[in-house]
Amino acid sequence: MALNPTDRRILRLALPAAGALAAEPLYRLVDTAIVGRLGTEQLGGVAVAVAILTLVIGGSNFLAYGTTQRVANRLGAGNTPGAADVGVQAFWLAAIIGAIAVPVLVVFAEPLASLLGARDEVLEFATTYLRISALGVPFVLVLLAAEGTQRGASDYRSPLIVLVASNIVNVILEVVLVFGFDMGVAGAAWSTVIAQMIAGLVLWRLTRPYTAAARTRRPRWSEMAPLLSAGRHLLLRVGSMMAVFTGATAVAARIDDPTLAAYSITMTMFSFLALTLDALAIPAQTLVAEELGKGGTGSTEVAERSARLSLRIGFGLAVLLGLSAPLVSRLFTTDPAVISRATAGLLILAVVMIPGSLAFSTDGSLIGAGDYEFLGRAALAYLVAVTPIAVIVLMFPELGIVGIWGGLLIWMVLRAVVNLRRTHQILGTT
């Protein structure tokens, strides 16, 4: 398939999007790597705190997705002041949510960590890390709102540069505070907060050209309400998807330790490969919304070309992973039982990449079309549909990781088929 101008538009945005997606998780990855050298209890405490922070930040992703769609749509319609209004109100909403989240996380840090199973020293470290890290949450929310505003204006380069720079700052500060000043877990948390503060403020400043035409700088409920509505549906979507993977982890844990270890390996690979597919889905959000704002038929071509590009990459990832599955398993472990299970899981994951490529790309197109309610309800329906598979695997544990990833394959196929039909229905794709 030769690349046409639409393909090049998508890929031009996908490359910096991939870099930004990879850069964002590095904050916690660096924390985990450095804290791991302090001790098992410290590492366990940070893991528990990060799980709580991930829920808060993941539930706020609508500040990026919803803002991207609305800014791009209004710019496509030639409504520059309206697009600027969306950006301003997204920042107000980030500030309001942050003002609520910080005291909740600080006051309830210990009971929340305890609820996730932290005890004794692990609980102490988790509480320390969570209370300090809570101070960075408002700046992460501002960062999400800024990314949404910039993506809506097709500026994918600025977030990438800022996120890479802030991660470098985080690494340097963390080494100095943790080892130089012997601050331990608290040093790891403070370095990340400082890096997030810098990234949030810099990105906020860089969005000024995109919000300069705003008709008001005050909070306006009429502009925040659509973002909150999108957030409600996107939260249902994210929650349902997290329930699928959390449930799969719980099933693996109840079979045996080698299966759980193998599932951890396969999920690590899935998370890594998903960044590639997501990098193509995010430009679809911007371009579909922009074309719909113009009122033309360009959104159909964007959705179709995005799906085709993603499918080609999905096939490539499937072949690459299928051929390298035995080697990849050995990179993570030397246990023969884990290697055999992980290899089987990775072979199924290779197949998952094909419907997954369509599920991701059509998710992006549907978000660009503002079809949030469908995405939320559909995600819940997929969860309900695959729950019986989890029950069957628990009843017949000999199915092992093949049963688990077989269920996830069915889940992904459902997402791809239903999403394709929906994009055809609302965008007229073939």
Digit-coded pLDDT (tens) for 340-396: 998 999 999 999 999 999 999 999 999 999 999 999 999 999 999 999 999 999 999
Q: Would you say 127 and 120 are in contact if contact means Cβ atoms under 8 Å apart?
A: no
Complete DSSP assignment for 175-215: HIIIIIS--HHHHHHHHHHHHHHHHHHHHHHHTHHHHTT-S
Task: Please give the model's pTM, rounded to 2 decimal places.
Answer: 0.85
Helix (H, G, I), strand (E, B) or coil at 216: coil
Q: Give the C-alpha distances (Å, rounded to integers) separating 207 from 101, 155, 225, 368, 397.
A: 24, 10, 21, 20, 53
| Domain final residue, candidates 165, 196, 219 | 219
Q: Are residues 43 and 136 in the same domain?
A: yes
pLDDT at 283: 94
Non-local (6+) Cβ contacts of 139 within 8 A are 98, 193, 196, 197, 199, 200, 201
Q: Would you say 301 and 287 are in contact if contact means Cβ atoms under 8 Å apart?
A: no
pLDDT at 238: 87
Q: Are residues 248 and 178 in the same domain?
A: no
Q: Are residues 242 and 153 in the same domain?
A: no
* Core vs surface per residue 9-20: b (16+ CB within 10 A) or e: bbeebbebbbbb
Structure letter (DSSP) for residue 217: S
Structure letter (DSSP) for residue 3: -
Q: Are residues 151 and 266 in the same domain?
A: no
Q: Would you say 289 and 24 are in contact if contact means Cβ atoms under 8 Å apart?
A: no
Q: Are residues 192 and 332 in the same domain?
A: no
The rounded mean pLDDT for the chain is 90
For residues 380 and 240, what is the distance between their CA atoms, to the nearest angstrom? 5
Q: Are residues 168 and 238 in the same domain?
A: no
pLDDT at 1: 54
Q: Which two tokens stand for residue 240?
A: 């349902």
Q: Would you say 190 and 161 are in contact if contact means Cβ atoms under 8 Å apart?
A: no
Confidence of residue 330 (pLDDT cuts 50, 70, 90): confident
Domain count, the chain: 2
Non-local (6+) Cβ contacts of 45 within 8 A are 113, 118, 121, 122, 123, 124, 125, 126, 127, 128, 129, 185
Give phi and psi for 118, each to the nearest 5.
-70, 135
Q: Are residues 210 and 258 in the same domain?
A: no
Q: Are residues 242 and 267 in the same domain?
A: yes
Q: Of 336, 334, 331, 308, which is closest to residue 321 (Cα–Cα)?
A: 331
For residues 161 and 165, what is the distance between their CA atoms, to the nearest angstrom? 6
| Domain final residue, candidates 173, 201, 219 | 219
Q: Tell me the per-residue pLDDT of 249-264, one tens digit each, with 9 for 90 and over.
A: 888 878 888 888 888 7
Q: Are residues 13 and 142 in the same domain?
A: yes
Q: Where in the sequence is the domain holding 215, given as residue range(s)?
A: 5-219
| Domain final residue, candidates 173, 194, 219 | 219
| Alpha-helical regions (H) of 108-183 | 109-115, 120-133, 137-152, 157-175
Q: Are residues 244 and 384 in the same domain?
A: yes
Q: Are residues 191 and 298 in the same domain?
A: no
Q: Are residues 213 and 232 in the same domain?
A: no
pLDDT at 140: 94
Q: Would you say 185 and 31 are in contact if contact means Cβ atoms under 8 Å apart?
A: no
The answer to whether residue 41 scores a pLDDT higher than 90 is no
Give phi and psi for 202, each to the nearest 5.
-65, -45
Q: Tell me the per-residue pLDDT of 53-80, one tens digit each, with 9 for 90 and over.
A: 878 888 898 999 999 999 999 999 999 9
Q: Give the C-alpha distances (Å, rounded to integers) separating 288 from 59, 355, 359, 374, 377.
A: 23, 21, 16, 17, 21
